[in-house]
Amino acid sequence: MPPAIVLCTLNARYIHASLGLRYLLANMERHGGAGLRERTVLREFTIARPVREIVDALLAELGDPVASAPQIVGFGVYIWNVGPTTEVVRCLKQARPSLKIVLGGPEVSYEWADQEIVRLADHLITGWGDVSFPKLCRALLDGPPPLMKVIPGEQAALADITLPYAEFSADDLAHRLLYVEASRGCPFKCEFCLSSLDKTAWAFEAEGFLVALDSLYERGARNFKFVDRTFNLKIDSSLTILQFFLDRLTPDLFLHFEVIPDHLPERLKDMIARFPPGVLQFEVGIQTFNPEVQHAISRRQDNAKTCENLAWLVNHSHAHLHTDLIFGLPGETLASFAEGFDRLYALRPHEIQLGILKRLRGTPIARHSAAHGMIYDAEPPYTVQQTAVVDALTVQRFSRLARYWDLLANSGRFAQSLPVLLTGPSPFNAFLAFADWLWESTGQTSGLTPEKLVDSLFDYLTGVIGREKEGVRQILLADYQTSGARANPACLQGCLKDREKPVPRAVRALVQRQDRHTGVGE
């Protein structure tokens, strides 16, 4: 029998498994009534798949329409999938007007009145959907029909929400990154983030959460990405979860946490230090070191403590650090951003992820638009185009720099060459000069192979900077051999002819990039 309800979303990549949809699926019976769960299926696609294929797959899943049997398709809508999801909804409604389309997700929870996808849909649930979506489905299937198109999501107590982890399939556990959360919400008010709209953070009951984690672990799960905005907000909870995984250490265990950079008490440090290499990955949101900008966007951060903690993590733990900076914040100039970048680079985190400000729907950052001359792209992901202190050409210039930084620095492929490139009073300005040259030389920000990058670095370091050729060649040779690449860059001709055939490295895909930074497995 065809399902009555299809839960659907378009993920950015196959490796991502939707946590939100699994919450809805897990709560269909509890909040929708008897029999609703067995009438519901979950179907995920990726944004790379053609819209027509997605529509055809959904129609095939739904089967032939029966007048007396209403059917519902619920879509999770996010900033990265709203475009193709809109087209999927349009095609579904054209092919089968009787379908009830229900939307939810952060992209449609705020400023929804002018959105085409909302116009096309039958209903929208804003905010939390764990309770409201099952209730709406029951009303659509059995009556009485709801009177409102837009339904504010009911924020239930966490104890009234069934955890979703049993909904991860064996295939999910084997091939995908599992998203989990020990808490929801955030007490901080950073205005570029939707979490700034929360009043506080709410923690799931610890015992039940750990039982669910243990069940996942016993089923073979080893890759866990915690989506908590502030994992180390409550240290007792952080220690309990870390101890849970310490007691279950395996060579293939991988844990990702988002941590507050200026809150790392000694007992948490002691626990972190007990983990071996390759297990812990911390995403550390710095965003800006500029106190005036921090104040403007309501971001509380002790910069001195942040630097102290980052230095400790780099020098006294095996955690792999992904640190974040945002360009284009109100009042942030290119020069002040460069100062912040240089301060962060001096601490030697494993990766510095360079983002450009996006005006997410509903975020308070919009209040600065007039005063700071903030102009954003009208289309997702609503990237800032210029500000009062950063013109459009500079934003484009930074965007290219960020792409090149990811290819050269964050990839870990140029561990010896990068410090040579960044020599000077300002590493940021040194890399900016290289980025400008690379753009002028190639006109490309994509399709740059490791070999092309090696040759470009050689040409720049020797022809523009004036470094001695043989010394640069040897550094690039060491980096190229370590990276595992197997072609022959022009500048290394004759240096690689006696290499042995490549031997596959027995490392997991998720930590290969870490290994290049740390030298593990060499």
Average pLDDT, integer, range 189-213: 92
Q: What is the pLDDT of residue 68?
A: 65
Q: Is the pLDDT of residue 503 over 60?
A: no
More confident residue, 466 or 515: 466
403 found inside a domain:
no
pLDDT at residue number 499: 55
Contacts for 472 with CB less than 8 Å, ≥ 6 apart: 417, 420, 457, 458, 461, 462
Tokens 């400790």 locate to: 312
120-135: average pLDDT: 97
In a domain? residue 395: no
Residues 87 and 207 in one domain: no
Q: Does the pLDDT of residue 67 top 80, yes or no?
A: no
42, 109 Cβ separation under 8 angstroms? no
Give dist(CA 374, CA 351) in Å, integer: 28
Q: Which among 158, 191, 212 is the end of a domain?
A: 158
Q: Is the pLDDT of residue 142 over 60?
A: yes
Domain closes at, from 351, 375, 390: 390
Same-domain check for residues 210 and 351: yes
Q: Do 321 and 428 share a domain, yes or no?
A: no
**Residue 357 pLDDT > 80:** yes
User: What is the signed CA dihedral for 248, 250, 256, 257, rounded to 10 degrees?
Assistant: 30
Domain annotation covers residue 90: yes
What is the Cα–Cα distance from 213 to 233, expressed in whole angstroms?
20
Q: What integer pLDDT is reported at residue 486 of this predicted model?
A: 85
Q: Are residues 41 and 174 in the same domain?
A: no
Residues 6 or more apart whose Cβ sits within 8 Å of residue 148: 123
- CATH code of the domain containing 289: 3.80.30.20
Band of the pLDDT at 289, cuts 50, 70, 90? very high
Q: What is the reported pLDDT for 69?
A: 82
Domain count, the chain: 3
DSSP 200-248: SEEEPPHHHHHHHHHHHHHTT--EEEE--TTTTSSHHHHHHHHHHHHTT
pLDDT of 27 reads 97
451: nearest Cα among 501, 510, 495, 401:
495
pLDDT > 90: percent of the chain = 88
Evaluate whether residue 227 is within a structural domain: yes
277 lies in the same domain as 345: yes
Q: Report CA-CA distances (Å) from 474 to 358, 405, 438, 451, 502.
A: 41, 22, 21, 15, 20
Flag whether pLDDT at 507 surpasses 50.
Answer: no
Q: Same domain, yes or no, for 239 and 336? A: yes
> Per the domain annotation, does 400 fall within a domain?
no
3-class secondary-structure state, position 470: helix
270, part of any domain:
yes
Is the pLDDT confidence value at 500 over 70?
no
More confident residue, 34 or 503: 34
Give the C-alpha separation, 49 to 83, whole Å.
13
How far apart CA 154 and CA 201 sit, in angstroms, is: 17
Which CATH number do you get for residue 14? 3.40.50.280
User: What is the spatial distance between Cα 370 and Cα 354, in angstroms, rounded to a whole number?
Assistant: 25
Same domain membership, residue 485 and residue 362: no
Q: Packing angle between helix 235-246 and helix 206-218, nearest 10 degrees? A: 20
Q: Which residues contact 126 (CB under 8 A, 6 or more apart)?
A: 104, 108, 109, 110, 112, 150, 151, 152, 153
The answer to whether 481 and 474 have CB atoms below 8 angstroms apart is no
Are 497 and 459 in a shared domain? yes
**Do residue 78 and residue 214 come from a single domain?**
no
What is the percent of the chain where pLDDT is above 70?
Answer: 95
Would the pLDDT of 522 be above 60? Answer: no
Same domain, 233 and 378: yes
Domain of 210, in residue numbers: 168-390
- pLDDT tens-digit profile of 223-240? 999 999 889 989 999 999
Confidence of residue 198 (pLDDT cuts 50, 70, 90): confident
Tokens of 424: 């000077």
What is the DSSP-derived secondary structure letter of residue 49? S
Mean of the pLDDT values across residues 27-41? 94
Specify the pLDDT at position 153.
Answer: 97
pLDDT at residue 504 in the model: 42
* pLDDT for the residue numbered 501: 44
Is there a domain that residue 427 lies in? yes
Q: Are residues 464 and 423 in the same domain?
A: yes
134 plus 180 within the same structural domain: no
Going 172 to 177 to 182 to 186, the CA torsion angle's sign is negative
- The residue among 324, 357, 390 that closes a domain is 390
In a domain, 405, yes or no: no
Q: pLDDT of 72-91, one tens digit each? A: 999 999 999 999 999 999 99
